C-alpha cells in the first residue's frame, strides 16, 4: 500500500488505547464465478481521540466485520496530529485528492461542524467542533476523506510560521 501524503505519528500504546473509530462507508463488490456471485466488502473508517489526533483506514475483506476490523487497524497505523486553535482551525485551507477538493474555513465558537457526512466524521474525531466546509468536485467518500486529511496536514499554527520564517508576527494589527 502506498504511503499516505500526510505526516503520520508513530503509534504507541498510550495513543492506541483512547482512540475511537467510526465507519464512513462500506462498499460491496461482486465477482461472478461458476457457482454464482462471490461478494467482497471494503470499509472506510476514521479513527481519532477527539483531541487533535486522527487517521483514516481502508481495507477489504470477505465479510463486513473483517473489513471494518482491518480498516480500523490500518487507521491506527496512520494517525496524524491536527493543528487546532481552540475549537477550530487557525486559517483557511484547501485539500485536493483526485477529482475532489475540500475547503475548510475557521468559524466562531458555537457554529458547529457545517460539513457533509464524510468530512464531518473526520473533523469530529480530530476534535474540531467549529468549522465551515465546502466540497467541490467528486463526492466519493474515499476521495473526500483523503482530501480532508490532506487539508488538515497543511495547517500550521502561528508559532511554527514564525520559526519557519525567522520573524515575529505583530499582534497589534
In a domain, 51, yes or no: yes
Please check whether residues 102 and 73 belong to one and the same domain: no
Last residue of a domain, one of 65, 80, 95: 80
Give the per-residue pLDDT at 165: 81
Give the per-residue pLDDT at 132: 96
Residue 140 lies in domain: 83-163
Last residue of a domain, one of 59, 80, 101: 80
Q: Is residue 144 within a helix (H) or strand (E), and if so which, with residue range?
A: helix 141-154
Please check whether residues 61 and 92 belong to one and the same domain: no
In a domain, 168, yes or no: no
Higher pLDDT: 165 or 83? It is 83
In a domain, 170, yes or no: no
Please check whether residues 151 and 90 belong to one and the same domain: yes
Query: What is the DSSP secondary-structure string of 148-172?
Result: HHHHHHH---HHHHHHHHT-PPPTT
Please check the confidence at residue 100 and state whether its pLDDT lies above 70: yes
Output the domain CATH number for residue 122.
3.30.230.10
Please check whether residues 117 and 73 belong to one and the same domain: no
Output the domain CATH number for residue 62.
3.30.160.20
In a domain, 87, yes or no: yes
Q: What's the pLDDT tens digit per position in 101-135?
A: 999 999 999 999 999 999 999 999 999 999 999 99
In a domain, 156, yes or no: yes
Please check whether residues 74 and 143 belong to one and the same domain: no
Q: Which of 46-50, 55-59, 169-173 has the lowest mean pLDDT?
A: 169-173
Give the per-residue pLDDT at 1: 47
Cell numbers 482491518: residue: 70
Give the per-residue pLDDT at 158: 78
Main-chain phi, psi angles of 160, to 5 degrees: -65, -40
Assign 152 a pLDDT band (cuts: 50, 70, 90).
very high
Higher pLDDT: 105 or 156? It is 105
Q: Is residue 25 within a helix (H) or strand (E), and if so which, with residue range?
A: strand 20-33
What does the mean pLDDT of the chain come to?
89
Please check whether residues 49 and 105 belong to one and the same domain: no
Count of structural domains, the chain: 2
Last residue of a domain, one of 36, 59, 80: 80
Question: What DSSP designation does 120 have?
Answer: H
Give the per-residue pLDDT at 172: 56
In a domain, 8, yes or no: no
In a domain, 102, yes or no: yes
Amino acid at each position: 500500500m502506498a504511503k499516505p501524503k500526510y505526516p503520520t505519528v508513530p503509534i504507541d500504546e498510550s495513543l492506541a488505547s483512547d482512540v475511537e473509530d467510526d465507519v464512513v462507508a462500506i462498499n460491496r463488490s461482486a465477482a461472478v464465478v461458476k457457482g454464482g456471485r462471490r461478494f467482497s466488502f471494503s470499509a472506510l473508517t476514521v479513527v481519532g481521540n477527539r483531541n487533535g489526533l486522527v487517521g483514516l483506514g481502508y481495507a477489504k475483506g470477505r465479510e463486513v466485520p473483517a473489513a471494518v476490523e482491518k480498516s480500523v487497524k490500518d487507521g491506527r497505523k496512520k494517525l496524524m496530529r491536527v493543528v487546532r486553535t481552540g475549537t477550530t482551525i487557525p486559517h483557511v485551507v484547501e485539500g485536493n485528492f483526485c477529482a475532489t477538493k475540500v475547503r475548510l474555513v475557521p468559524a466562531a465558537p458555537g457554529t458547529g461542524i457545517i460539513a457533509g457526512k464524510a468530512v464531518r466524521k473526520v473533523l469530529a474525531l480530530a476534535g474540531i467542533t467549529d468549522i465551515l466546509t465546502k466540497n467541490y468536485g467528486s463526492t466519493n467518500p474515499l476521495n473526500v476523506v483523503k482530501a480532508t486529511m490532506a487539508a488538515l496536514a497543511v495547517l500550521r499554527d502561528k508559532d511554527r510560521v514564525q520559526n519557519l520564517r525567522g520573524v515575529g508576527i505583530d499582534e497589534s494589527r
